[in-house]
Structure 1
Amino acid sequence: MNSSKKILIIDDDSKNIFALNAVLKARKYQCLSALSAKEGLQLLSGNDSIGVVLMDMMMPEMDGYEAIAKMKSDEQLKEIPVIAVTAQAMTGDREKCLNAGADGYLSKPVNVDELVKMLNLLIH
């Protein structure tokens, strides 16, 4: 599925952004990226071409939990689905991310088939 909506990748590690960008572009998805939650929220603000956010949960300054809370409390951003992408894969981490407002959860390293399945469900 090649939606006209873009995917915003928010991760403080440029290698993670590069890897996700590469696999998604190979599948004809359009991607934007931000190296911090603050930068990601600025990109989202006033940009209605973003259809889903891949959010790293562990970032300095503002983590993914805080960024999701800000998105879900913003009238213009609250409908944009967020997939939590995190190295945290302990018991309860998935629930913690979903309870924080994430619409999906993927642990790193990301299973690309699972990611594409989730994107097909979430991008309208």
Structure 2
Amino acid sequence: MPQKLILIIDDDSRNIFALKAVLKAKGFDCLSAISAQEGFSILEENSNVAIVLMDMMMPDMDGYQAIAAMKKSPKMRDIPVLAVTAQAMVGDKERCLSAGASGYVSKPINVDELLMQIENFTK
């Protein structure tokens, strides 16, 4: 079975670095992008991305807009997106899910929760 590839889209390279370190330690291969547009380019070139970890608060195009764009693309619409956000207020999870995210993890990230969600969506 080919290795599950995870795409991390986050405008903060420190978040990408931390997530990659954790995921690589758990045996996952990761790609990363610092903008939604860069993420879309990676998705166009890699058909084996199993899940996208999407930062919801980014400049140019935020996670909500990016998920909406992915849902309109035949090539990207079926890839599960895990919303990763520092917004952990009441209603934020629902807002992410109603925007089309498959799951939701708040920052600071609980690694066990993250891994559980990745496993759930990449079976």
Question: What TM-score, normalized by structure 1, do the two folds share?
Answer: 0.96
Structure 1 distance, partners of 2:41, 2:8, is: 13
- Give, in angstroms, the shift of residue 46 of structure 1: 3.4
Partner residue in 2 for 1:17: 16
Q: Is the 8 A contact 1:3 1:123 kept in 2?
A: no
What one-letter code is carried by the residue in structure 2 that aligns with 1:28?
A: G
State the Cα distance separating 1:121 from its structure 2 match.
0.7
Q: Contact 1:3 / 1:29 at 8 angstroms: preserved in 2?
A: no
Q: Do residues 56 (structure 1) and 75 (structure 2) align?
A: no
Identity of aligned residues (%): 60
Q: CA deviation at 1:3?
A: 5.9
Pairs within 5 Å for 1:93-104: 93-104=92-103
In structure 2, the CA distance between the partners of 1:105 and 1:3, relative to structure 1 (3 Å rule), is: farther
CA distance in 1, matches of 2:38, 2:19: 18
Count of aligned pairs: 123
* Separation of aligned partners in 2, 1:63 and 1:13: 13
Distance 1:83 1:37, change over 3 A: same
Superposition RMSD in Å: 1.2
Kindly state the Cα deviation for residue 4 of structure 1 after the two structures are TM-superposed. 1.5
Q: Output one character per residue of 1:53-102: Cα deviation in whole Å (capped at 9) or x when no partner.
A: 00000000000001000111111111100000000000000000000000
The alignment's TM-score, normalised by the length of structure 2, stands at 0.97
Instruction: Report the counterpart of residue 65 of structure 2 in structure 1.
Output: 66
Paired with 2:120 and 2:108, the residues of 1 have a C-alpha distance of 21
Measure, in 2, the Cα distance between the counterparts of 1:71 and 1:46.
14
Q: For residues 81-92 of structure 1, what are the structure 2 equivalents within 5 Å?
A: 81-92=80-91
